[in-house]
Amino acid sequence: MRRIIIIGTVLAAFGGGAAALAAADANTYGGSISFSPTKAGSAHKPIPIGWKQTITAKSNQAGLNAAPLKDIKTTIYGLTVDTKLLPTCSNSKIESSGGTGCPSKSLVATGTVQSQLGPPSRQGPTVACDPILHVYNGGKNYVWEFFIVPNEQACPAQTGSATPYKGKFTRSGKNLILNVPLPPDVSTDAGGLGLDASLVHEQLNWKKVTKKVKGKTVGYFATVGCKAHKRPFKVKYTDTTGSSTITGKAKC
């Protein structure tokens, strides 16, 4: 009942209608990426590594909620990933079991999300939606991302209201790229509620996972080099108003 009342209040306040928004209403993004260990490694001596990504978002215009994200593309220098190393979990198994039916070692990242759900006008009342984010190894250079809602107080949506969505790893030169398109049920129709999801803060921790292969310790993620003792990265955010890219250099 609480869920229905909150959704109804948010939609009724502005009629659930969309508004024409100008480019000036675009988002401002922030965030960082850090790595552990902070070693360079090399192609001949790759070193297993874990990393943490933090994202923040807000509207450029006071009084507006942040525009919903449609895609996040992260590029990191000197990393590799081996999705063949670990067990996989399919999107259907994640969805049917809420992730509990997946092999434990297929869970490669966990994180927290703070967001606000509101009408497409991006104005007026919102309700907090703060799920837990789980990422599962999908094999073939894919991962599956999935929101877990721990209790009714965390979000008016429920676990499973948003289906698992796919991220894909690719390589470009010495860079590892992770591209994650965000489907409507985590963006412009969050949880199927007809509301926009405005991200406030996200922190995702990618595990340092290793496995012995022919007597050698191999990492799911590995570092194979840095540039001038730094690890350059960039993150391109695409939302409903346009796109923006942030850049940085982590210790290495």
Closest among 98, 91, 189, 100 to 137, alpha carbons compared: 91
The two three-digit tokens of residue 116, written as one number: 């606000």
252 residues of the chain, pLDDT tens digit each = 444 444 443 433 333 333 333 445 689 999 999 999 999 999 999 999 999 999 999 999 888 999 999 999 999 999 999 999 999 999 999 999 999 999 999 999 999 999 999 999 999 889 999 999 999 999 999 999 999 999 999 999 999 999 999 999 999 999 999 999 999 999 999 999 999 999 999 999 999 999 999 999 999 999 999 999 999 999 999 999 999 999 999 999
pLDDT for the residue 124: 83
Q: Which domain holds residue 83?
A: 2-251
Number of H helices, E strands in the chain: 2, 17
Cβ-contact 226, 252 below 8 angstroms: yes
**Count of domains forming the chain:** 1
132 three-state secondary structure: strand
Q: Which residues pair with 211 in a beta bridge?
A: 218
pLDDT at 10: 43
Query: For the purposes of burial, counting CB atoms within 10 Å of the CB of 199, is it exposed (0-12), middle (13-18) or buried (19 or more)?
Result: buried
Displacement of CA 81 from its chain's centroid (Å): 17
CATH of the domain at 19: 2.60.40.1510
